Amino acid sequence: MIRFENVSVTYDGHTEPTVRDIDLDIPEGELVLLVGPSGVGKSTVLGAVSGLVPHFTGGTLRGRVTVAGRDTRTHKPRELADVVGTVGQDPLSHFVTDTVEDELAYGMESLGLAPEVMRRRVEETLDLLGLADLRDRPIATLSGGQQQRVAIGSVLTPHPQVLILDEPTSALDPAAAEEVLAVLQRLVHDLGTTVLMAEHRLERVIQYADQVALLPSPGASPVLGTPAEVMAISPVTPPVVDLGRLAGWTPLPLTVRDARRRAGALREQLETRSLGAEKGRGAVLDLRLPPRGRDQPQTTRTRRRWFSRTPQPAPQSPHTAEVKDLTVTRAQIRALHHVTLTIAPGETIALMGRNGAGKSTLLNSLVGLITPTDGTVQAGGRTPHRTPPPDLIRHVGLVPQEPLDLLYADTVAAECTAADTDADAPPGTCRDLVTQLLPGVADDTHPRDLSEGQRLALALAVVLTARPPLLLLDEPTRGLDYAAKARLVTVLRDLAAEGHAIVLATHDVELAAELADRVVLLAEGEVIADGPTAEVVVSSPSFAPQITKILAPQHWLTVAQVKQALA
Ligand SMILES: Nc1ncnc2c1ncn2[C@@H]1O[C@H](COP(=O)(O)OP(=O)(O)OP(=O)(O)O)[C@@H](O)[C@H]1O
Ligand SMILES: Nc1ncnc2c1ncn2[C@@H]1O[C@H](COP(=O)(O)OP(=O)(O)OP(=O)(O)O)[C@@H](O)[C@H]1O
């Protein structure tokens, strides 16, 4: 159904091809997962199928890509629209209409489907993707995850033979991600739809894949095989596979269920190693990194420091930020309701909860982009929405869900120079941070042409240049591979050790397990849980990481903890 014959893509201004000599044959009715490190060319491969590469991106495509027999070099994306449905990494750039229902119908209208068919499919899709309550909503008022669901729904309604999805679950909460993947699997099984999907969070998707195509490194040929075959050699692997490797299990488990069946001996071993732990529980609290609260002596940290200067302390309050009784109503929609929260220096908080729960609204309130309807917000002793941005960036910085919202310059180098100037930081500060986060980002690249992961690294570096004592990150692992995520974790831990408070809104349960001291769970705009990570995630099946599920009833969170216990 999809065939690549000796395909190379060279973007304008690049001397070397981004992807090289790709031969790939994807049969009809299969769900194939495209995996590989950040920036390796996954979006480029997907774009070559939908025709966006090279028709919209520019550059040169050599070789031949055919979809359902049509050559994508001679057929523009418009001429493939009856066969291929595409969801890219940025749903907002897709939308052509203003409301949810219109958007779901749009693709079918362009194909001239009968009104009664359109009506039925819109209703089906609203139900399948949990969008019925939002049907009349303007798209601009939806949360990131709600928009991603609409974007997926809008390509499903015309029932294309081929679906091309670039990180379709990146903004979805864990339960919504499962729902969307189950819908895709049903299309594959019942309608014979062919799905090619790139996704970094393998823990969410690997069990749905018939085959996995791995791009191991830039310019290398793809390796196609069963999920188990590819995971055995892949540089990117989910926690369940990492645990399998650590425990020496063959074949490697791909699902929590597989791993639980094998985990008996490991659990026993861990039980005996977790000295002092009460029976039936692991030593998770003992083994976690020492709490990074403000009482921790900073001298215990030996890791290299990221910044030569220490962050400015909050002037009056012992807290970095305080939210009291905050209510935010936006266009008659109650986004937050009586939220009270204090954030201490050195603390890392994961803000979790379903799509639309109010996470971004809370972060935006802390950075002054939203004015409270009721209640108060203080950050660094200031009231954010009344503080001029040049002053505020030294107290609180937000890396938004869409990093491009923060980037204005034409090149990476110009963006970094501007960030150094705005923050009054030594020249080169921002550029060094970009390199540390994601090596290999070229100075003269336009931020728009960076891969998703590279853009995030740049936006994070821009914000960190001002060394704000309060750092806010909205869904920071979108587009990041496991290695980039590990580097992000290191950076954030170092910042926390220096006294920066960090709040991440995230659906990435593995990241929360790895990094957060504390989890605040929001539901429909209210705080429904606030406590130590181990307690909050372990008691919630949706938000528990893979290792917790595999080793329950013991309370382990990450492979690193298990490794440390076995050492
Ligand atoms: N339109 C473009 N012009 C120039 N370079 C581009 C363009 N699009 C992508 N690139 C470059 O090609 C490389 C591969 O990018 P691509 O987005 O395909 O990677 P990816 O594997 O999808 O990354 P991620 O996992 O971070 O989304 C990157 O170095 C990127 O900077
Ligand atoms: N501009 C807006 N106007 C009206 N309502 C809005 C607006 N932006 C967001 N909302 C609504 O406010 C609620 C909270 O949205 P918010 O973006 O804070 O959720 P979230 O928890 O960050 O979601 P996600 O996980 O999907 O990013 C949702 O019901 C959303 O639809």
The DSSP output letter for 220 is P
Question: Do residues 122 and 101 lie in contact, with contact meaning Cβ atoms separated by under 8 Å?
Answer: yes
Nearest CA to ligand 2 atom 8: 141
Dihedral (CA of 45, 50, 51, 56) sign: negative
Question: Do residues 321 and 470 lie in contact, with contact meaning Cβ atoms separated by under 8 Å?
Answer: yes
Res 442: pLDDT:
86
Consecutive H or E run containing 566: helix 559-566
Res 29: pLDDT:
95
The DSSP output letter for 96 is -
For 489, the token pair is 């974790």
Question: Do residues 165 and 496 lie in contact, with contact meaning Cβ atoms separated by under 8 Å?
Answer: no
DSSP 271-327: HHHSTTPPTTS--HHHHSPPP-STTS-GGG--SPPS-SSPPPPPSS-SSSEEEEEEE
Res 276: pLDDT:
40
Q: How far is residue 201's CA from residue 477's CA, in Å, rounded to a whole number?
A: 9
What φ, ψ does residue 173 adopt, rounded to 5°? -70, 160
For 519, the token pair is 């989890």
- For residue 255, count other CB atoms closer than 10 A to its CB: 17
3-state class of 373 per DSSP? coil
Q: How far is residue 164's CA from residue 87's CA, in Å, rounded to a whole number?
A: 6
Dihedral (CA of 371, 376, 379, 381) sign: positive
For 437, the token pair is 């986060």
What is the best residue among 18, 214, 443 to mutate for testing ligand 1's pocket, by most ligand atoms within 8 Å of CB?
A: 18
Res 274: pLDDT:
58
336 CA closest ligand 2 atom index: 14
For 533, the token pair is 């990570």
Res 317: pLDDT:
58
Q: How far is the CA of 131 from the centre of ligand 2 (A)?
A: 14
Q: How far is the CA of 41 from the centre of ligand 1 (A)?
A: 6
Q: How far is the CA of 1 from the centre of ligand 2 (A)?
A: 38
Q: Is the distance from the beta carbon of residue 143 to the nearest atom of ligand 2 less than 6 Å?
A: yes
For 69, the token pair is 């027999």
End-to-end Cα distance, the chain: 48
Q: What's the predicted TM-score (pTM) here?
A: 0.86
Question: Do residues 566 and 270 lie in contact, with contact meaning Cβ atoms separated by under 8 Å?
Answer: yes
- Side chain identity at residue 511, one-letter code: L
What is the best residue among 11, 35, 234, 446 to mutate for testing ligand 1's pocket, by most ligand atoms within 8 Å of CB?
A: 11
Nearest ligand atom owner, CA of 331? 2
For 451, the token pair is 């891969």
pLDDT in tens, the chain (567 residues): 999 999 999 999 888 899 999 999 999 999 999 999 888 899 999 999 999 998 888 889 999 999 999 999 888 888 898 899 999 887 777 899 999 999 999 999 988 999 999 999 999 999 989 899 999 999 999 999 999 999 999 999 999 999 999 999 988 999 999 999 999 999 999 989 999 999 999 999 999 999 999 999 888 889 999 999 999 999 889 999 999 999 999 889 999 999 999 999 999 999 877 544 433 333 332 222 233 333 333 322 222 233 333 344 444 456 789 999 999 999 889 999 999 999 999 999 999 999 999 999 999 999 999 999 999 999 988 999 999 988 898 899 999 988 888 898 999 999 999 999 999 999 999 999 888 877 888 899 899 888 777 888 899 999 999 989 999 999 988 878 888 888 889 889 988 999 999 999 999 998 999 999 999 999 999 999 999 998 888 878 888 999 999 998 888 999 999 999 988
Q: What share of the chain is helix, strand, coil (3-state, %, to 5)?
A: 40, 20, 40
Q: How far is the CA of 44 from the centre of ligand 1 (A)?
A: 6
Res 303: pLDDT:
27
3-state class of 229 per DSSP? helix
Q: How far is the CA of 526 from the centre of ligand 2 (A)?
A: 13
Nearest CA to ligand 2 atom 3: 141
Res 137: pLDDT:
94
Question: Do residues 11 and 78 lie in contact, with contact meaning Cβ atoms separated by under 8 Å?
Answer: no
Domain 298-395+468-566 indexed as CATH 3.40.1190.20: no
DSSP 231-243: HHH-SS--HHHHH
Dihedral (CA of 510, 514, 515, 521) sign: positive
ipTM at complex level: 0.93
Res 280: pLDDT:
34
Question: Do residues 566 and 269 lie in contact, with contact meaning Cβ atoms separated by under 8 Å?
Answer: yes
- Tell which residue, 434, 21, 389, has the closest CA to residue 222: 21
Q: How far is the CA of 342 from the centre of ligand 2 (A)?
A: 22
Q: How far is the CA of 303 from the centre of ligand 2 (A)?
A: 38
| CATH 3.40.50.300, the chain: domain bounds | 2-236, 298-395+468-566
Nearest ligand atom owner, CA of 523? 2
DSSP 501-564: EEEEE---HHHHHHH-SEEEEEETTEEEEEEEHHHHHHT-TTT--HHHHHHTTS----HHHHHH
- Tell which residue, 10, 21, 8, 24, has the closest CA to residue 196: 24
Superfamily of domain 2-236: P-loop containing nucleotide triphosphate hydrolases (3.40.50.300)
Question: Do residues 435 and 487 lie in contact, with contact meaning Cβ atoms separated by under 8 Å?
Answer: no
Nearest ligand atom owner, CA of 199? 1
- Tell which residue, 148, 48, 490, 543, has the closest CA to residue 303: 490
* Tokens 């985990």 belong to residue: 263
Q: How far is the CA of 45 from the centre of ligand 1 (A)?
A: 10
Q: How far is residue 49's CA from residue 66's CA, in Å, rounded to a whole number?
A: 7
Q: How far is residue 432's CA from residue 233's CA, in Å, rounded to a whole number?
A: 32
Q: Is the distance from the beta carbon of residue 99 to the nearest atom of ligand 2 less than 6 Å?
A: no
